[in-house]
Amino acid sequence: MTMSILDLIAVGLAAVAGGFVNAIAGGGTLITFPMLIAVGIPPVIANVTNTVALCPGYVGGTYAQRRDLQGQKKRMGMLLPTGILGGITGGILLLSTSDATFRNLIPYLILTAVILLAFQDQMRNAVMARMSGSDSTHPYEAWAIPPIFFAAIYGGYFGAGLGVMMLAVLGLVLDDSLTRLNALKQSLSFAINIAAALFFLFSGKVFWTAAAVMAVGALAGGVLGGRVASRIQPIVLRWIVIVIGVSVAIVYFVR
């Protein structure tokens, strides 16, 4: 496959927008993945390339929240391997899916991500309400392993909205502050995406030209988003992404 200069500019700008949105509201994949499809990249290769290209964006977020991970060594020792295994499993399932099948799944995957984004605040409020109403008893934390594993499979397979899903799961199973659970969610999302990306490196399915351009664009967008985050209402940006996601899903349903 070859890409024209205009195609590279298009995916680069989409990556900037995706990195910007991820830094403020989440849902950047709903911008970058459809653009890769739009420039003619087959669905499975587009998804693999998108995962690899956006991985650097998780580094900054994980590093920034490292202090909130203190005292969570036992949890991380239990859940990180779960996330890694789930991410690789999702990657295996993706590479086992034909382009035709994956194309048929695209609108449903996008709508799943849209629903997660649309109800992000409600899910977060439910988590906070549960924590504020919890007593001194602590559930057996190993109960987090099965739902985290299945969330990680979704992350390795597609991944849009993974952070929202992970935070909801952690908040329902673990007793801790939202800040510390968010840091744990960030580290798990990082592990899942890195595991899937490393697996994809040896698949021969990465479109490296697009991935390189997108990685630079996503980093630039993330930096820009971080600088202006305080001036933009995340909910406004999130609903713009939701409208884009629904529109893309409708296009795929019509096709």
CA separation for the pair 9, 167 (Å, rounded): 34
Q: What is the pLDDT of residue 245?
A: 84
Q: Is the pLDDT of residue 228 over 90?
A: no
What's the Cα-to-Cα distance from 123 to each of 22, 154, 166, 250, rounded to whole Å?
18, 18, 11, 25
Largest CA distance in the chain: 60
Q: 193-205: per-residue pLDDT in tens? A: 899 999 998 888 9
Work out the pLDDT band at 136, boundaries 50, 70, 90.
Answer: very low
Query: What is the per-residue pLDDT for 25?
Result: 66
- Is residue 204 within a helix (H) or strand (E), and if so which, with residue range? none
> Do residues 44 and 102 make contact, with C-beta atoms less than 8 angstroms apart?
yes
* Residue 167: pLDDT over 70: yes
Alpha helices in 119-233 (DSSP H): 120-132, 145-157, 162-173, 178-201, 208-228
Mean of pLDDT over the chain: 85
**Per-residue pLDDT averaged across 65-93, rounded?**
90
- What pLDDT shows up at residue 134? 58
pLDDT for the residue 190: 86
Closest of 180, 45, 92 to residue 188, by C-alpha: 180
Quick one: average pLDDT of 35-57?
Answer: 90
Tokens of 128: 């906070």
Confidence of residue 91 (pLDDT cuts 50, 70, 90): very high
Residues composing the chain: 255
Three-state secondary-structure class, residue 119: coil
Strand, coil or helix: 187: helix
Ranges 18-22, 39-43, 83-87, 151-155: which has the least confidence: 18-22
**What average pLDDT does range 13-42 have in this prediction?**
87
Answer whether 138's CB lies under 8 Å from 175's CB.
yes
Task: Identify the pLDDT of residue 139.
Answer: 57
Q: Where residue 87 falls among pLDDT bands split at 50, 70, 90?
A: very high
What single letter denotes the amino acid at residue 88? I
pLDDT of residue 138: 53
By C-alpha distance, which of 1, 12, 19 is closest to 218? Answer: 19
* pLDDT > 70 fraction of the chain, expressed in percent and rounded: 92
CA distances from 35 to 43, 97, 128, 147 (A): 11, 20, 36, 31
Tell me: pLDDT of 154 over 90: yes
| pLDDT tens-digit map of 173-189 | 887 777 788 788 888 98
Of residues 169, 140, 139, the one with CA closest to residue 152: 169
Q: What mean pLDDT do residues 80-91 have?
A: 95
> Average pLDDT, stretch 4-22?
91
